[in-house]
Structure 1
C-alpha cells in the first residue's frame, strides 16, 4: 500500500474532487501522511485562476517533485495548461482527477478491508463480492494484505445487491481485488452467474463490473460476453489490466496471462457487443522492460485501442520481489510514460469525438458536477456532462436520453433529447 500526501488549491470543486480521490485511495488500502518527504506519492490538485496562481502552482509542483518519489498533478491548471508543467520539465504525471487513484496504485489490485460491506453513496451502491485474488505479481504488495480469493456464495451477494437497490441504489459497482476469479476458491467460475442473477432483480438500475484480470476473464470470456449482450442492466464496460504488451515482461511481473489471451478477450467482446468500453492499465518502465518491450506495449495499445487507459510509471513497493530488481533510470521511465500518455490521449479523444452528434438512450445521472452540471453514464459507462442541469430538472438517479454535442479528452457534453 502507498503512503500519499495531497495538496489542494482553488475552489470547492477542487476540494470535492480531492475528497473523492482520498476516498478511493482509502478504499484501496492506501493511507495519508503529513508531508511529501515521508510519502511514496504526492498529489497536487491545482488552480489556474490568475497568472500569479499559475506561477505558484509550477513552483509548488517543482518542489514536490524534488521531495517525493512520484508526483501526480491534477486540477484546473493541469487539465487546461498541462503543457506548462511539461515545458518546465517537472518530473510529474499530469492526469484527470478521476485517473489519479488508479495511477497511485502502481498497477496493484484494490485492497478491500476485511469487514467490507456494501455501501450506499448517493445513488451508487458499492458491492464488494469477494476478498483476495489468485495472483502473485512481483510488483504488488496488496497480496500481503488480502491473501487468496475468498468468495461468498452467489446468493449472499445477490441479496446484498437487492438490499442496495431497495435502499435506492441506481448504480451497483461490483468490486474486489480481481472480480474475474470470483468463485475460483470453490472450484467454479461464477462471475457470469452472479451478474445474471443480479440483473434479474426487480428495479431500474445499472451494474458496473470492477477490475478483472485478463486470466480470470479469459476462461469465461464467451459466457461473460453473452451475459453482457443479453442484459441492458449491465454497463458494457470491462476493466482488464494488461500491464504490458511484452510476454517477457509479463513473465517477469508474474502476471498469469499472456498478450494473446488479453487480445482474445477483447476480440470476444468485439464480436458480441456493438458499442462497449475497454479499460486497461499499462505499467511503464518495469525494471526488465527493454525498448523493444516498450514498443510492443505501444503496438498493443494501437491495436486494441481501449477507450479508457491508465498509464503508470513503475515505482518500487517495499518487500516486493520487483523492489530488489535493478531499476530503469527516471529519465527512461519519464520518456516512455510521456510517449504512451500522448498516444492514450489521442485514442481516448478519438473515441469521444466519434460520439458527437449521436443519441445516447437511457443514460443514468450518477452524481452532481460543478456549476449546475450533472455527470451521466451511457450504456458503455462513458461519461457525458449535462450543463445547466436545473433547467432540465435533472438530478442523480434520473434516466435521460442525451444527444452528444461536444467532447473533451476524457468525457463528452450532451443535451437532453
Structure 2
C-alpha cells in the first residue's frame, strides 16, 4: 500500500472531483500521508481562473515536486494549460481527474480490507467477492497486504448481491484484487457461475465485473464470454490489464500471461459480443523496458484499440523486487508516458466520437457536476446528461439517450421520449 497527499484549489466542482479521487485511492488500499513529504504521490488539483492563480499553481507544483516522491497535476489548469508546467520545469504527470487513481495505484491490484462487506453508495452496490490474488508481480506491493486468494462460496456472494438489490442497488460492481481467479483456492473456476446466478436475481439492475488479470481469465474466457452474451444485466465490459506489449517485459514483471493470451481473450469477446468495452492498463518505463519494448506496447494499443486505457509511469514500491532493479531515467519515462497518453487520447476520443448521432439505453448511476448526471450504456461507456432536473432525469432511472457530442473520455446525450423525440432542454454539449 502507498500513501498520497492531495491539495485542491478552486471551485466546488474541483473539490467534488478530489473527493472521488480520494475514494478511489482508499478503495485501492492507499492511505493519506501526514503531509507531502511523507507521500508516495502528491496530487495537485488546480484552478486557472486568473493569471495570479496560474502563478500560484506553478509555484505550488514546484514546491511539491521537491517533497513528494511523485507528482500528479490535474484540474482546470492542468487540462487547459498543461504545457505551462513543462515549460516551468515541473516534472509531473498531467492527467484528467478520473485518470488519477489508476495512475497512483501504479498498476497494482486494488486492496480491500480483510472484513470487506458489500456497500451501497447511492444506487451503486459494491460487492467484494474475494480477497487476495494468485499473482506475484515483481512491482506490486499489494500482495504483502492481501496474500493468496480467499473466496467465499458462490451462494454466499449471491445472497450479498441479492441484499444489495433489495436495498435499492441499480448497479452492482463485482470487485476483488483479481476477479478472474475467484474460486481458485477451492479448486474450481467459479466466476462464470457466480455472474450467471447474480443476473438471475429478481429486479432491474446492471452488473459490472471488476478487474480480472488476463492470466486469471484466460482459462475461462470462452465460458465467461458466453455468460456475457446470455445476460443483458451484465455490462459488456472487461478490465484486463495487459501492462506491456512485450513478452520480455511481462516476464520481468512476473505477470501470469503473455501478449498472445491477452489477444485470445480480446478475440473471444469480439466473436461473442456485438459491441463491448475493453479496459486495459499499461505500465510505461519499467526498469527493463527497451525502446523496442515500448514500441511493442504502442503497437498493441493501436491494434486492439481499448475504449478505456490507464497509462501508468512506473515508480518503485519499497520491498518489491522491481525496486532493486536499475531504473530508467525520469525524462525517458516521461517521454514514453506522454507518447502513449497521446495515442490513448486519439483511440479513446475516436471511440466516443463514433457514438455521436446514435441512441443508447442507459442507466443513470450518479450525479455529476452542476445539474448533470452520469449514465452508463450497455458497454459501460459514460454518457453525461445535462440539465437533468428540467428533464426529469434522476439517479436510478433507465432511459434512452441520443449522443450529441463528446469530450474525449465521455459522451454527452439528450434523453429521448417514448415517441422518439429529444428532451426539451438543449444540451450545451451539442456543439462540443
Is 1:17 the counterpart of 2:17? The answer is yes
CA distance in 2, matches of 1:164, 1:396: 16
Q: Is the 8 A contact 1:27 1:113 kept in 2?
A: no
> Partner of 1:407 in structure 2?
406
1:292-331, aligned counterparts within 5 Å? 292-331=292-331
Shift of 1:51: 2.2
User: What is the RMSD computed on CA atoms of the aligned residues?
Assistant: 1.0
Alignment match, 1:62: 62
Partner SS, residue 67 of structure 1: coil
Residues 122-131 or 85-94, more deviating? 85-94
On the 8 A contact 1:366/1:376 being kept in 2, the answer is yes
Which 10-residue stretch deviates more, 65-74 or 151-160? 65-74
- Equivalent pair of 1:374/1:396 in contact (CA under 8 Å): yes
What does residue 425 of structure 2 align with? none
Distance across 2 between alignment mates of 1:138 and 1:375: 37
Cα offsets for 1:388-407 (capped at 9, x unmatched): 00011111101110000000
Q: Secondary structure at the match of 2:77?
A: helix
Note if 1:216 corresponds to 2:243: no
Deviation at 1:12, TM superposition (A): 1.4
SS at match of 2:355: coil
- The 5-angstrom pairing of residues 361-400 of structure 1 reads 361=361, 363-400=362-399
Structure 2 SS opposite 1:131: coil
Under a length normalisation based on structure 1, what TM-score does the superposition of the two structures give? Answer: 0.98
User: Counterpart in 2 of 1:29?
Assistant: 29
Alignment deviations for residues 373-395 of structure 1 (CA, whole Å, 9 cap, x no partner)? 11111111111111100011111
Output the CA distance in 2 between the equivalents of 1:43 and 1:74.
7
Write the distance in 2 (CA, Å) between the matches of 1:57 and 1:143.
36
| Deviates most, 399-408 or 57-66 | 57-66
Q: Distance in 1 between matches of 2:166 and 2:329?
A: 53
Aligned to 1:135: 135
Q: Secondary structure at the match of 1:5?
A: strand
User: Once the two structures are superposed, what CA deviation does each residue of 1:46-92 show, in whole Å capped at 9, x if it has no partner?
Assistant: 11222221222222222222322211111222223333334434211
The residue that corresponds to 1:110 in the other structure is 110
1:53 aligned residue = 53
Per the alignment, residue 236 of structure 2 pairs with 236
Deviations 1:158-201 (A, max 9, x none): 00000000000000000000000001111111111100000000
Shift in Å at residue 356 of structure 1? 0.5
136-145 vs 34-43, which deviates more?
A: 34-43
In structure 2, C-alpha distance between the alignment counterparts of 1:186 and 1:310, rounded to whole Å: 32
CA contact (8 A) 1:287 1:327 kept: yes
State TM-score, norm by structure 2.
0.95
Q: Secondary structure at the match of 2:135?
A: coil
Aligned to 2:342: 342
Gaps of 5+ in 2: 417-432
Instruction: Within 5 Å, give how 1:241-320 maps onto structure 2.
Output: 241-320=241-320
- Identify unmatched segments of 5+ residues in structure 1: none
Alignment: residue pair count: 416
Question: For residues 85 and 406 of structure 1, what CA distance do their matches in structure 2 show?
Answer: 29
Instruction: Say which SS state the counterpart of residue 318 (structure 1) adopts.
Output: coil
Contact 1:3 1:39 in 2 (8 A): yes
Aligned residue in 2 for 1:189: 189
Q: Distance in 2 between matches of 1:6 and 1:360?
A: 36
Q: Is the 8 A contact 1:400 1:416 kept in 2?
A: yes
**Structure 2 Cα separation of the partners of residues 174 and 287 of structure 1:** 33
The runs of 4+ residues in structure 1 deviating greater than 4 Å are none
Q: Any idea what SS the aligned residue of 1:221 has?
A: helix
Q: Does 1:83 align with 2:86?
A: no
For 1:345-364, what aligned pairs fall within 5 Å after superposition? 345-361=345-361, 363-364=362-363
Deviation, 1:94, is: 1.5
Between the aligned partners of 2:195 and 2:81, the Cα distance in structure 1 is: 42
